[in-house]
Amino acid sequence: MPATIGWDDPEECNLLVTLTAPITWSDFQDSISEAQQRAAAVDRAVNLLIWTQAALPPGFAMPNLRGVFQRQPPNVQRVLIIPGDQTTTLMFVKRIATVLQQVFPQKGKLQFVDSLAAARQLTTETRLKSP
């Protein structure tokens, strides 16, 4: 599978999904589904960090993205997407993500960040601010 999934911090609050090329929509669905199962298996808030080092596969993005968004476990606090692709495809995905966030406001906050380091810093800052 063109993905690696594992905890990114000693506290096991950040689950990192790294997607590499070539990737199909089936690979994408399977990888995110596995990450969601791991997140759901713990009794604490989890951040999903999705680092895309591959372009979107051919085909329809909306149903695939909607499906994984709908299945997001309730303990997922935030989904941080680290795009490797800075093209018009990224703009398209951001628009879809904005629509999905509005349709499913009860799901974890979705945010795009420029790098894995920025994602880690954001989750650390959030954890420090929490009571």
Q: What is the pLDDT along the chain (131 residues), one digit of tens a residue?
A: 688 999 999 999 999 999 888 889 899 899 999 999 999 999 999 999 999 887 778 888 778 888 888 889 999 988 898 887 656 456 666 677 676 667 666 666 778 888 899 999 988 887 655 54
For the question of whether the overall pTM of this predicted structure is more than 0.85, the answer is: no
Per-residue pLDDT, 114: 85
Q: Locate 95 and state its tokens.
A: 């628009």
User: If we measure between CA atoms, which residue out of 47, 50, 58 comes closest to residue 23?
Assistant: 58
Domains located in the chain, CATH noted: 3-129 (3.30.750)
- Burial-class residue 52 by CB neighbours within 10 Å (0-12, 13-18, 19+): buried
CA–CA distance from 30 to each of 35, 38, 98, 105, 106 (Å)?
Answer: 9, 12, 23, 24, 23
Per-residue pLDDT, 131: 47
